[in-house]
Each structure stands twice: as structure tokens, then as C-alpha cells.
Amino acid sequence: MSAEVRLLEIYRLIGAGQVKHALDNAHSLVQDVPNFQLAQLVYGDLLLSQAAPLKVMGSAPTNLANLAPQRLDQLRMEAERRLHALRAPPPENTIPTQFIELPPTTKNAIAVDASRSRLYLFENGPAGLHMVASHYVSIGRLGAEKTVQGDQRTPLGVYYITSRLGAKQLTNFYGSGALPLNYPNEYDRRLGRTGSGIWLHGVPSDSYARSPNSTDGCVVLANPELESILEQVQPRSTPVVIAKALEWVPTKSVESSRHNMRNLIEGWRVARASGDLSRLMSFYSPQFANGDRNINQWRELLEREVKTQRGRSLQLKDMAILGWRDKGDVLVVTFGEVSDGQRTGAVKRQYWGKENGLWKIFFEGVIG
């Protein structure tokens, strides 16, 4: 049983008036996980409650409380975030709206709710995504919605894990390991967002958890919880959604959006395979950019490609479709592009945006 589950059980016992049982459990928890500071605070509260009723959580003697008032406030906030996860979990059989479609080859997905300091891990099975774990996390000191390098904010958007780093590859600061994300993505770049080095990672070995807003922009978990994620997720194919507040919808309600997006991308595929350059270019934004290539240079490249591929069928394999909405509607589409007579092909990623009510591709590139 995780330390957080044990802590939440202590809170449940307190709420049920079983203070002696809660005290025994708290004593056991701090013995087993001595660096869990919030658990130590709850244990201290329970000990003090044996002498007099507590007026507020973290009722340390005044001389001690004055030494670290900010830390007490942070621990109280951490307690509120953890308790909220207990009292208001996501509804059953729901998923975040961003997960429109994931192929069977994508085994896991991650969603982070910044307002709740919560990370949700999903498995992708025959029946689709289902949540298998929920973890407390810390985010940027100044909150979410990163825009520039060094602003101490966590980015909001749709990302992918790019690699997996073990503890031996890192300093103790990162704990059990790290999962770097592809921030800034192409949508971030389009909006002029800067910065780098946004990871999911652990905590130093002398800590159990950090306060809710305490990182330079990364998403930070307790080491035991990070380790369980490190063992499961696959770099490059695992999406990570970070939202200010996740919107949960019934799994079946995504089917309509999935159908519409499939039809949109199928239209692009047919145009690509047909060799009709004029029709194909109608799917691209005038503001398209791929590195140094603008829309005119991209047209020249596509013209050469469709000439060599004309008459050959084109299939899209293992397609993932993720949605995002903030300053505009965005689709992040990843697929393997396989031509007739080939067993494999390039893995491509497209970013689509709404322009005058129509979906247009503003980035397309090979990622593998």
C-alpha cells in the first residue's frame, strides 16, 4: 500500500472519529516513511489532539511555527490537494477529452491536472483507455502555462515522452529517474513559447514529496510512484497531456469526435496518394512551417514526392490523434506512412489548427 493511500486512510479515520486508530496508523507510517513531511505533520497533530482540541491543521507551538510559516502553508495546501483526490476522483468510465484515438501499439497515456496537483496513468487495452493509477505531483513555483524560459511555470499542452533516464544517469536531485517531454512542441513554437528541459522526475533521496508549487517547471512525483511509471511507459509513443483542469468525458462520447477526425485525415491520405497536388495543398495552412521550409518550399517538396509515388497506395499505420484547445483548436496526429510494397515507413507527426473554421496542417515532419 502506497504512503499516500495510508495517509488518506488516516484522514478517513479522523473524519470517522476513530482518533486512536488514526494515531496508531500515523505512528506506523512515519516509522516506515520518515521523510514524508505531511505524514509527520498529521502525526504531530494527532499527538497534540490528545491534550487539547486542534483549531487548525499544523498546530505547532508558536515559537516553532514562526520559524517556518511558509512551509506550514505549503503542507496544508498539499493536504488539501491530496484530500481532494480522495473526495472527488474522476467519474468512472471517463477519460480526458484530449485522448481522441490511440493505437493498440500505444500501451499507456498520462494526464496531469495542474489545478489538482494530480497525475493519472492510463493503460490502453482492447476496450480503450482505463485509469490504473492516480498520483500527487508538484508543478512550477508560479503555476502552469509556461511561456518563456525561466518563468518557473509548467507548460500546458499535448506532449510525448522522448526518452527514459535512470537514476545512474542523473544527479540525486532527480530521484529515481526522469522522463523528458518534447516541450516546446510545434504548437508552442508557433506561439513563440520558449524554454526546455521539462521532465517528469522524482525527488532527492532524503525527501518523499515536494509542495504543490515548488519546481522550475517540471512535474515531480514521489520516487516509488515514479518508479512504477518508469517501468511501464514507452518513450516516443506515450502521450502526456498537461491541463490547467482536465475535462473528463464518458469513453463512448469520444467516438463521434474520433469518427470526424479520422474522416479528416483520410481525406488528406487520399489526396496524398492520388497525386493531385492542388487538392493535397488545400489541407495545408498558408502559415505552414517545417524548420526552414515555408509553404512554397513545402509545396515543391510534395510535388517531387507525389510524382515518384503516383499510382502507389498509401496506408497510415498506428495512428494517434490528440486534441488540444487554448488559444485555438489543435490536433496532434502521429502515424506510420507506409507505401504499397513496403512493410514499414517513416513515422510522421502533423499539427493541425482551425483557420476560419477549417482544419489546416501547420506542421508536418518525420519523427522516426
Domains delineated in the chain = 3-87 (no CATH), 98-249 (2.40.440.10), 252-366 (3.10.450.50)
Q: How far is it, in rounded angstroms, from Cα 109 to Cα 261? A: 19
Region for residue 27 given its phi and psi (left: phi exceeds 0; alpha: psi -120 to 50; beta: otherwise)? alpha
Is the pLDDT confidence value at 215 over 60? yes
**Residues 156-176: pLDDT tens digits?**
999 999 999 999 999 999 999
For cell 523528458, what's the residue? 180
Residue spans of alpha helices (H) in the chain: 3-15, 19-32, 37-49, 62-65, 69-87, 186-190, 223-232, 254-274, 277-281, 295-309
What is the percent of the chain with per-residue pLDDT over 90, rounded to a whole number? Answer: 77
Residue 95, H or E segment: strand 94-96
Least-confidence region, from 79-83, 138-142, 218-222, 264-268:
79-83
Are the beta carbons of 135 and 215 closer than 8 angstroms? Answer: no
Residue 65 pLDDT greater than 60, yes or no: no
The pTM is what?
0.93
Residues sharing a CB contact under 8 Å with residue 310, sequence separation 6 or more, in sequence order: 275
66, pLDDT greater than 70: no
Which residues touch 79 (CB under 8 Å, ≥6 apart)?
38, 41, 42, 57
**293 pLDDT higher than 60:** yes
pLDDT at 261: 96
* pLDDT interval class at 50 (50, 70, 90): confident
CB 52, CB 76: distance < 8 Å? no
Asked if 43 and 28 count as a contact pair (C-beta separation under 8 A), the reply is no
The separation between CA 60 and the C-alpha centre of its own chain, rounded to angstroms, equals: 36
Tens of pLDDT along 324-360?
Answer: 998 889 999 999 998 876 777 889 999 999 999 999 9
Instruction: Please write the tens of the pLDDT for every residue from 67-89.
Output: 556 788 899 899 999 999 889 99
> What type of residue sits at position 171?
T
Instruction: Report how far apart, in Å, the C-alpha atoms of 121 and of each of 129, 136, 282, 367 are.
Output: 10, 12, 38, 24
- The predicted structure's pLDDT at residue 70: 78
* pLDDT score for 100: 97
- Strand-pairing partners, residue 134, are 120
- Within 10 Å of residue 66's Cβ, how many Cβ atoms? 10
Residue 320 confidence (pLDDT) above 80: yes
Identify the sign of the CA torsion 248, 249, 252, 258. Answer: negative
Residue 308, pLDDT > 80, answer no
Q: Round to whole Å and give the CA distance between 309 and 314.
A: 9
The answer on pLDDT for 192 being more than 70 is: yes
* Integer-rounded Cα radius of gyration of the chain: 24
